[in-house]
Amino acid sequence: MKYDVVVIGAGPAGSSAASALSSLGHKTVIIDPCDEKKVCAGVLTAQYVRKYGVNEAFVERKLKGVRIAFRDVKAEINYRQAVEYSIDRQAYDNFNVNEAIATGSELRKDLATSLVETDSGVSVSVSTEKDTIDAEYAIIASGISDLSRQFGGTTKYAFCVQQKKDVEPDHYFEMDLHKDGYSWIVPKSDHVLTGTSSIIDYPDIPGEKGLIPIDGPVEKTFSDKILLTGDAAGFVSPFEGEGLYYARRSGEIAAEILSGVMSGKYQMKDYEDRWKKEFDFSTLDIISGLLSSDRALEMFVREIRDNTRFHALVEDILTKENKKLSLTDKASFIKVLKHV
């Protein structure tokens, strides 16, 4: 059997792509072993909630804001209008893949081991541990993997370790900054998840291990027959590590473009044009680039705590209320973080 599209990966990027494609009438199959627990803080950001809302099937706690710290300097941002949620990541993934199946996508619980674009350029072939699957097009939504790297997927990432702690949760996402990464605490319904990341190697603490893409989108996210989405494409905020919004939205964009390619409306390169217009990583790149020393990190947190205007600016950036920094805002960041 030949499919229109094979989607490798059943996370938010793959499931949203498959759901959209099936809804548009395209024969779609998702390949994922569905046997790995995702190492993820599990926060639906304000940007995500404004776009998609939430479902009680996976929500664990409504968040009031964020606490940011560097050593003994601490700041707290109580969101004025934005709403964020802590979620059960496994329940969230299950919900999304079931939505894709409900729209007509087929799910094969299998591991994709290789992907080949045929020499003639008319189809792709995916080898799995159990079978070989042919399709006209492929979407790689398998995160950081050998398969995604083979087709230009992200090769720059941070190492993280996460563990569950049975302590009383509150209503804030917490970030403890350091120049080689950051640590976090995210409250769940009756416990918290703590995690630590490093660009050097896995932190020497017990817990579940994972990888987080850094440095933003990869150089090229399309080929003649294949699109990269989500983590595989490097669609993760370089500052706070947000990836769920970009994963889901990039899957939807990929589905729209592929459907248009099959009808003659679009070309594969239009995918890259679309997400570049919609995703603006420049603001977060500015922040990450400036937060390169202990002194800059300390000043950043101190100004959030003591400078009302800077506090509001960071809140707008974190909640994506202000997607692009104005020249005045950029000057404010540079002034603060370069200690002028």
Q: Residue 146 corresponds to which tokens in the numbers above? A: 């050998």
Per-residue tens of pLDDT for the chain, all 340 residues:
789 999 999 999 999 999 999 999 999 999 999 987 788 899 999 999 999 999 999 999 999 999 999 999 999 999 998 999 999 999 999 999 999 999 999 999 999 999 998 766 569 999 999 999 999 999 999 999 999 999 999 998 999 999 999 999 999 999 999 877 789 999 999 999 999 998 889 989 999 999 999 888 999 999 999 999 999 999 998 777 889 999 999 999 999 999 999 999 999 999 999 999 999 877 777 777 778 888 889 999 999 999 998 898 889 888 887 656 666 776 777 777 665 4
CATH superfamily of 2-42+88-155+214-279: FAD/NAD(P)-binding domain (3.50.50.60)
d(CA 86, CA 186): 7
Contact 109, 130 (CB under 8 A): no
Which residue blocks in the chain are alpha helix, DSSP H? Answer: 12-23, 46-52, 89-102, 146-150, 244-263, 269-278, 282-290, 294-306, 308-318, 327-337
Domain ranges for the chain, please list them. 2-42+88-155+214-279, 283-337
Q: What secondary structure letter does DSSP report for 216?
A: S
- pTM value is 0.93
Contact 250, 277 (CB under 8 A): no
